Every structure is written in structure tokens, then in C-alpha cells.
Amino acid sequence: MNYINQKFNKNSQRTEFLIPLLNILSDSVSIVGAFVLSYYIRFYFPPFVEMVPFNGAIPPLSGYIILALIVLPVWLLIFQSRKMFRPKRIIFIFDEFFLISRLVTFGIVFSFGLIFFYRVFPYSRVVFLLVWLSSIIFITIGRYIVLKYEKNLYNRGKGLKDTILAGSNQTAHDIYDKFSAHKYAGFNIIGFVEEHPGESKGLLPGNLKLGTYNDLTELVQKLNIEAVLVTIPSTEHEKLFEMMKNSEGENVEFLMVPDFLEVITSSVRVQEIDGIPFLKIKSIPMNVWNRILKRAFDFS
């Protein structure tokens, strides 16, 4: 079994596959369910019908279900455009609520525009208003359940990314303490490497010492490391470049704790994990879903 296949079979890789799949299924059920519920509220829920009277024949439910299935892929693409199907690891549901509201609004605008050109079926504008509201509620609830399930996996030590700390300073010590206590951050710190032996000065447990920066690539291959958290100061960036160059071609991501100047001047993505800002300076080139898509195109 080659290195890529070994990585694919790891628990964290299975989680990288499972969580996006659960979010896709949850969102799909929520969207279709919102259409169905909104239809029944509009036409068959007495208090609402009395408040907002409806004149004429009630259209069949099938028209709304067909529309929901037609617009569903577009809604999912809208969500994917904001990378809503990645494992979140650290996120508050209220932060996601506002993004969900905005994306659902885009989806409703698309759906409403679609029926504007298709006037054969008598769609109700009130139903679309109800779909907008119920979709936000259903999707948020569904994602909250998936998020709780995901965090429960991490707290039980499942699906964690095997990680090495590059550096042995106070920052590395703080990260180790925090991520060891908060498994829901999604990282399992295997150990650390430093430039010269003995630099840690007791800040990190001695049994976690794996070697020096020069050993990093070998350790990534040997231990199937998936993430490297870089804590070296900004004055030593040449060491970071050397580590990344030596690890070129390995399926490992590098995240660096930035200083203030790097945060405000860098164009790379800032990712906050358990209150600690990281700069993602190297992403995993082939995650699980990218492999699946590549394999699908290979067979086509």
C-alpha cells in the first residue's frame, strides 16, 4: 500500500469524507423539507390561511417538490462556493447562522427568478417567503447536529489530525497545552521538532521530542503526519521555507502562528483554531473529496 492510500485510510481522512457528506445530506433534506412544510403551512394550516387568505384552486404539492429538486443542486453549489461542506472543527453555530441566512437568500433569489420565466405552474410568493425562513431554521438545526456529532468524535479522540509542532518556544507550549485539553480543535499533537537539541528548556515534555527541523520530512512520512503547526518567530522564516521545500510533494498542511504584521500584510488565509490565529501557508493538495472527483474524471 503506497503512502497516499495509507493516508486515505486514516481515521481523520474518513472524517474528512463523512462530515461533508453529512452536511450535504442534512442541507438537502432541510431544503426539500422546507419546500414541503411551507406548502402545507400556506395552503392547509388554518391560522395562517385565515391570516393570509388564498383565493383559487390549491396547486398540487408535486409542483413544489419538482422545483425543490431542480434548484437543490444550485443551492448546494452556492453553499459550496463558500466552502460550507468542509469539516469545521472550530466554529460557533451563531457565526454560521448569518452566513446560512445570506446563502439561503441567494438561493431563494435564484428560485424566484426561475419561476419568473416558468409561468405554467401557479407558484405562490408567500410559499417562497416561508421557504426562505424555514430553510434557514432547518439548515441551521441540521448543521448544529452535525457539528455536535463532529466535536463529539474529536473529544473521543477519533478523526484527529496527527500533528507535529515545529518549534519549542513559549508559543509551542501554549498551543500544546490548549490542543491537548481541547480535543475538539481536531489536532493530535504527536510531538515537536526544534532547530537544535535542547532548545525547549523544559517548556514541552521531553518524551515528545522527535528531532530537529532536518528530520521533519522523514517524520511526516514515517508517522503519517497530516499537519505541521509552525511556531518559529518571523525573524527565522528562512527555516520555514526550507522545511516546506523539503516537504514538497508530501500530503501535509503547514499552519503558522503569525505575528501582528503578518496578519495585516499577508494575502494567505487566516484560520482561527481554538482562539489561536494561524496562517495557512500550505494546504493539502489532495483531500478525500478531491481524490473522489479525480477518480471519477479518470473513469469518465
Residues 6+ apart with CB under 8 A from 31: 68, 72, 75, 107, 135, 138, 139
Which amino acid is residue 150, in one-letter code?
A: E
At 180-193, the pLDDT tens digits run 888 888 899 999 99
Per the CB < 8 A criterion, the answer to whether 287 and 5 are in contact is: no
Where would I find the H helices in the chain?
Answer: 3-8, 11-44, 46-51, 61-81, 93-117, 125-155, 170-181, 216-223, 237-246, 260-265, 288-299
Residue 33, Ramachandran bin (φ over 0: left; ψ between -120 and 50: alpha; else beta): alpha
How many CA atoms are closer than 13 Å to the CA of 209, on its beta-carbon side?
A: 18
Domain ranges of the chain: 3-155, 161-292
Q: Which three cell numbers stand for residue 117?
A: 420565466
Per the CB < 8 A criterion, the answer to whether 135 and 143 are in contact is: no
For residue 90, pLDDT over 60 is answered with no
What average pLDDT does range 91-118 have in this prediction? 86
d(Cα 295, Cα 232) in Å, to the nearest integer? 38
What average pLDDT does range 90-118 have in this prediction? 85
Per the CB < 8 A criterion, the answer to whether 87 and 20 are in contact is: yes
d(Cα 218, Cα 197) in Å, to the nearest integer? 17
Q: What is the pLDDT of residue 43?
A: 95
Q: What is the pLDDT of residue 126?
A: 95
Per the CB < 8 A criterion, the answer to whether 220 and 250 are in contact is: yes
What's the whole-model pTM score?
0.75
Superfamily of the domain at 161-292: NAD(P)-binding Rossmann-like Domain (3.40.50.720)
Winning range, highest mean pLDDT, from 113-117, 172-176, 256-260, 266-270: 172-176
Q: Which three cell numbers stand for residue 294?
A: 479525480
Question: Over pLDDT 90: what percentage of the chain?
Answer: 41
At 241-289, the pLDDT tens digits run 888 888 888 889 998 887 543 444 444 556 666 666 676 656 665 555 5
Q: What is the pLDDT of residue 139?
A: 97
Winning range, highest mean pLDDT, from 104-118, 135-149, 176-190: 135-149
In the DSSP assignment, the letter for residue 215 is G
d(Cα 274, Cα 183) in Å, to the nearest integer? 10
Q: What is the pLDDT of residue 287?
A: 58
If you search the block for the grid coordinates 510533494, which residue do you land on? 249
Q: H or E element: which one contains 253?
A: strand 253-256
At 19-33, the pLDDT tens digits run 899 999 999 999 999
Answer with the residue of higher pLDDT: 237 or 110. Answer: 110
Split at pLDDT 50, 70, 90, the class of 2 is very low
